[in-house]
Structure formats: C-alpha cells, structure tokens
Amino acid sequence: MKRTATSYRYLALFVLPALAVYVLFSVYPLISSVFLSFFDSDDKAAGQQFIGFDNYVYLFTNPTTSERFWNALGNNVEFFLIHLLVELPIGLLMAALLTSGVLRKSTGAYRTLLFIPATLSVVIVGFIWRLLISPLWGVVDFPLLGNELTALPTISLMSVWQYIGIPMIFLYTALLAIPHDILEAAKIDGARGWTTFWKIKFPLIAPQFGLIVILTYIWTFNGFDIIYALNGSAPGPNYSTDILGTLFYRTFFGSSGQVANLDLGATVATVIFFIILVVTAVYFFVLQRRLKTYEL
C-alpha cells in the first residue's frame, strides 16, 4: 500500500506522544546518568568539574568501593542463576502440565492460582515470608535470613515463588499456539508424550524460552525491591544479600551510614546499564538469530 503524506502525519500523531514519554522518562535520565558519571560535583562553589573516567577508576580500584561492587555483582549473578535454574524449569513444567490435558477442567483454576502471587505487592510478599520463616513463630527453627550462606538463596526463592506465574503464562501461550496438525503428525509417527515435548514442542517454543531467559536476566540485574523490602539498603548479614540495585541506591541517595555521592552513584548506574546492554546485545545478535528458524 502506498503511503501518502496524510498517512505519515497520522502515524506521527499517534507515535509522538508515546515517543515523547519514552524520551522524557527513559532516554533523558539514562543520558543524564552517563553524563553525570564523568563529573565531580562535590565542590558546590566550583560547580561541576569534568574528571573523565576518574569515577570509574575510583569505583574499581578503591579497596572499599571495589569490594562492595564485586560482592554485589557476584550476589547478582547468584540471584539470576537461582531464577534461571529454578523459576524457568518449574514455569516450563507447569505450562507443559496445563497444556497436556492431564488437569482437564481444572486448568483455569491452576493457571489462576499460579499467577496470583505475581499480582501481590513485593512488600506484602516479603512480610508474609518473613513471618513464615521466622525462628520465633514461623515454621523454620533456623534463621535463614540471618545466615550469610542461606540469606540470598532464601530471598531468591521468595522471588521465584512470587514471579513463577510470569514465565509459566508466557510458555503456556506459546505451547497453545503450536499447530495441532504438527502434533497429530508426530502422534501418527509413533511419538509419545516425553518425545513429543522435547523433540517437537520445545524446539518450536525455543525463541520464546530464550526471550524469557534474557528478560529474567534484565529483571534480576535491575532487581532491588524485594531485597530492600526485607533487608533495607545495607542488605545483611555482612552485605551477603547486597546486589547492584541496592548498591546503587546506597551510593546515590546515601543510606545506612553511607554519605550520598551522586557522581559515584551515576557511575554505578552506568556500569549496571552496560552489564545489561552487553549481554542482551550478544544474546539478540548471536543466539536469537539462530532460534528464528524454529519460529511458528
């Protein structure tokens, strides 16, 4: 269809409001953060002074800040891996069960029950789980949140419990979209449940599964809320639950005895942005292209 000047004007009319909101609330803060990371604004009288990469050098070489950064990055990787290895397989299993016909008329009820936790406030989820695992009146005698080895896995599993409905519903809809004639052909050829799922269904939903993996990566590396709701901005014990989001908050706004440093906070935010950007770009340019051959 040939586009006319009028159609372009209508297109701009509908796109510009959303584009303006996106630029104002996403692009502008991001550019401002990157810009701020190259300046020193501690001296109010002298104003902002350009210092190049000094904030980055300080972040990675100062004994205290570098220790906190690498600790937070390591914890963030663990936070992501727990979601990847627990949340996604269970979500896939639940989606496979819901589409297998085993649950029959109860499919709608199970689907709703599994998705309800994702609609709850993080504060409420944290409060409920803190009561449940309290050594004083909960069901566990061991202080799971008070031990350095168990605190982060415990919080990660709470987060998995809350958000397991999201990958489940994505994969559920992907499995429903598989054409029945393909499954019927596999059945005629003698394929059964397990073989049909791994040889037919999973390759067909691999692009969606890969997209959920990268979305989980982005979400966990932007994570902040459940850690802050449970342990505050200096997540203990001994920073064992500190992730990049809480490190940024503590550095930028100042909290738990740490003085606010806007420039260093912007530096942390910029580093987080590039950690997410690089991995996401590699995924889309390397892996997602190969998965396109299996699109439905």
CA 167 to CA 288: how far, in whole Å? 18
Predicted confidence band at 244 (pLDDT cuts at 50, 70, 90)? Answer: very high
Whether the predicted pLDDT of 296 surpasses 50:
no
Cα–chain center distance at 275: 13
Beta strand residue intervals within the chain, DSSP E: 39-40, 49-50
Predicted pLDDT at 293: 52
What's the mean per-residue pLDDT of the chain? 88
pLDDT tens sequence across 169-228: 999 999 998 888 888 888 888 888 888 888 888 988 988 899 999 999 999 999 898 898
Predicted pLDDT at 1: 56
Long-range residue pairs from 16-25, CB within 8 A, at least 24 positions apart, any chain: none
DSSP 259: P
Predicted confidence band at 2 (pLDDT cuts at 50, 70, 90)? Answer: low
- Looking at the chain, the whole-number percentage of residues with pLDDT higher than 70 is 96
What pTM does this model have?
0.87
Count of other CB atoms within 10 angstroms of residue 121: 11
Which residue is associated with the tokens 């439905």? 296
pLDDT tens sequence across 40-83: 887 777 778 889 899 999 999 999 999 999 999 999 999 999 99
Let me know the angle formed at the C-alpha of 119 by 114 and 122, rounded to the nearest 5 degrees.
110
pLDDT tens sequence across 74-126: 999 999 999 999 999 999 999 999 888 777 778 888 888 888 888 988 888 88
Predicted pLDDT at 13: 86
